[in-house]
Amino acid sequence: MQPNRVARILGIEKPVVQGPLSWLTDARLVAAVGNAGGLGVLGPNAGLTAATAVSTPEATAEKMREEIRKTKQLTEKPFGVNLIPTAENDIWTPAILPVIKEEGVKVVVYTGYGDGSLKPALFDELKAAGITIIYRDINPTPENSRRAEQAGADIIVATGFDEGGTLPGTALGTFTIVPLIVDAVQRVPVMAAGGITDARGARAVHALGAEGVFAGSVFISTIESRVPDSVKAKIVAANGLDLRLFRTLPDYYRALPGKLSDTLVAMDRAGASKAELAQAMGGLRGMRLGMLEGNTDEGYISVGAGIGNIHAITSVAEVVNQLAV
């Protein structure tokens, strides 16, 4: 059997990447993924709480530096940091990128978020610093996957509509998007994301041509996750049929039942605009309130459609082993 390309490129044992779950990530979770043989990723606001959150790009970058250093104390394995460049007025990347370089982070998960966010010059800067790039577009298409490959991406993530968080506007399921992207790129391996929570899903996407699993929801309910036990219990008890789907910016979102998510569904059905729904969600504050504080009156719990296959609160190592087929 040929060595797995994703594992080789990332310098890890198992082709499993934990998605950058914003507030929900911290050094403990990321290090646990690395120590289990996968790749952990620090997301925006990693390790922060309502009390420690900051608002300026420079202060946010220094908070990320602290979390990177905490992670290094817990593991000697590679890990990544999430970059979400914007097409215009990108004030965050110029602040975070120097920290990533100075701290010797080996991998960046580059999130393509809208037209113009795929910046060849930024790819060049990352590559010049010796950083491996995992490119994940929120709306994956053959065209933007090929552009990312040409710009220098080392790995492409094909994300299906089954995922949690910000959903692809293309609304193609994981089983559809994975082979589409696999066939579109020429040289780089593709990872699959969206609704993959156990070995069955992992084997299925490998059969479609994926060479690794990029997962988020299944890590939220692990022992090492900083999410409250009350939220983990809700995830374990739920299945995909329980999820509420609604439109928002940029396209769609889904969440577990709660006062806010039920209100958002009602607003959507009543004809509210995407902008109005996005404002009512409260952005990442809504995520923090719902998923980090368990307040579903003012916040939301967003997970992927595959949560029905999460049956217990387990260790990160168990999850990585399940997904590494």
Question: What's the CA angle centered on 126, arms 78 and 316, to 5 degrees?
Answer: 25
Q: How confident is the model at residue 17 (pLDDT cuts 50, 70, 90)?
A: very high
Cα 193 to its chain centre, rounded Å, is: 9
Q: How far is Cα 295 from Cα 98, in angstroms, rounded to an integer?
A: 35
Q: Kindly list the domain boundaries of the chain, sorted by start residue.
A: 5-226+309-323, 244-302
CATH placement of domain 5-226+309-323: 3.20.20.70
Tokens of 46: 């990693």
Q: Please, what's the b/e burial string for 220-232 (b: 16 or more CB within 10 A of its CB; e: otherwise)? A: bbbbbbbbeeebb
Q: What are phi and psi of 240, to 5 degrees?
A: -60, -25
- Over residues 35-76, the pLDDT tens digits come to 999 999 999 999 999 999 998 999 999 999 999 999 999 999
* Statement: the pTM of the whole predicted model exceeds 0.85: yes
- Over residues 242-283, the pLDDT tens digits come to 999 999 999 999 999 999 999 999 999 999 999 999 999 998
Q: How far is Cα 210 from Cα 187, in angstroms, rounded to an integer?
A: 13
- Over residues 67-89, the pLDDT tens digits come to 999 999 999 999 999 999 998 88
Q: How confident is the model at residue 2 (pLDDT cuts 50, 70, 90)?
A: low
Largest CA distance in the chain: 55
Question: Residue 148 in contact with residue 112, Cβ under 8 Å?
Answer: yes
For residues 92-102, average pLDDT: 97
| Helix residue ranges per DSSP H, 170-272 | 174-184, 199-207, 217-220, 229-237, 259-269
Report the pLDDT value the prediction gives residue 283, as an integer from 0 to 100.
85
Residue 1 has pLDDT above 50, yes or no: no
Q: What percent of the chain has pLDDT over 70?
A: 99
Name residue, tokens 């991998």. Answer: 107
Q: How far is Cα 43 from Cα 216, in angstroms, rounded to an integer?
A: 11
Could you tell me where the beta strands, DSSP code E, fall in the chain?
Answer: 16-18, 40-42, 79-83, 107-112, 132-137, 155-159, 190-193, 213-215, 244-247, 252-255
- Over residues 173-232, the pLDDT tens digits come to 999 999 999 999 999 999 999 999 999 999 999 999 999 999 999 999 999 999 999 999
- Over residues 124-175, the pLDDT tens digits come to 999 999 999 999 999 999 999 999 999 999 999 999 999 999 999 989 999 9
* Cα distances (Å, whole numbers) of residue 215 to 3, 17, 35, 68, 165: 21, 6, 17, 21, 12
